[in-house]
Amino acid sequence: MEDELQITLTNDYAFKRFLGSEENKPILQDLLQCILGLSSDEITGLELMDKELTKEELSDKSGILDVKLKLANGTVIDIEIQASWNASFVKRTLFYWAKMYTADFKAGESYDNLHKCITINIIADGFRLNDAVHSEYLLQEKRAHTLLTDVLEVHFLDLQAAKRVKAKEDEESKQNQLIHWLRFIGAKNKEERAMLATKSPILKMLNEQIDILSLSPVERKLYESRMKLKSDIATISEDQFKAGLQEGKLEGKLETARVLKQLGDPVQKIMQATGLSQEEVEALN
């Protein structure tokens, strides 16, 4: 008998399948309320974008299976699961934020038509910017800390920090709910998920769906291939990554370029980061 597959939401295929589907919008709304502190009125009526998992997208190991959505007020939100932190991630998330911010803007339109865009990055391991569970970055004046504009928000959620924090069992605060959510996302096995699912009706509902999931052979292969890719990328340490850039060694540059290419970064950006030529980058497997 085939071993039972241990589903974890740190796998981007599983995350998008469960939280990027039309039928699970109430579950996604609950997660967003915990992260962004929005009211139920602000979050109700969200529209899922790119909700279909296409054959081409699933077959492309280097693709990013994120969850994109739009709120009723026009705010666009992108949620991405990242298995491990690396030195290029901050620049990459700003790059994708910029693409999202200008995606529907047409020449001749008023700049007032540009909508707020939020990126939410859930990091499974190795987050290094700070020790917080939830970090939120905005555009502010350097000394007075006054907000320049609210169109940019970048959030980082550290699953390892969530494991370290002690949730207060007698409180139903948004912070407590967020801790439970993040621990559930980071759960590695059925038993751990079942324990965390007792913390809220929403997590109980999601856990029941995961428990009854029966992956077809093709879906199982896709799930496992996504997991293997994330594992392969994680084997390249931060020190190796930085050494390739700082010391200028060709081997290090090529290894860095391979990682960036696997992460889906465009050729031009990889060229700028590594100093390699277009031909060298395009020749990499």
Whether the Cβ atoms of residue 264 and residue 62 lie closer than 8 Å to each other? yes
User: Using an 8 Å Cβ cutoff, are 102 and 110 in contact?
Assistant: no
pLDDT below 50 — which residues of the chain?
A: 1-2, 55, 58-59, 61-62, 233-234, 236-238, 241, 244-245, 247-248
Q: Please give the Cα distance from 178 to 79 (Å, whole number).
A: 15
Q: Identify the pLDDT of residue 249.
A: 60
Q: Name the DSSP class of 205.
A: H
- Identify which of 3, 5, 1, 2 has the alpha carbon closest to the alpha carbon of residue 212: 5
**48 SS3 class:** strand
Q: pTM (2 decimals)?
A: 0.75
Q: Which amino acid does the sequence have at 215?
A: L
Q: Are 37 and 16 in contact (CB under 8 A)?
A: no
- pLDDT, position 195: 94
CA distance 27 to 69: 13
Residue 236 token pair: 């390249």
* CB-based burial, 37-64: b 16+ in 10 Å, e otherwise: ebeeebbeebebeeeebeeeebeeeebb
What pLDDT does residue 47 have?
A: 94
Give the pLDDT score at 171: 60
What integer pLDDT is reported at residue 36 of this predicted model?
A: 95
Cα–Cα distance between 180 and 203 in angstroms, integer? 9
| Identity of the residue numbered 205 | M
- Smallest CA-to-CA distance from 115 within 66, 71, 68 is with 71
pLDDT of residue 168: 67
SS3 content of the chain, % helix, strand, coil (to 5): 50, 15, 35
pLDDT score of 245: 45
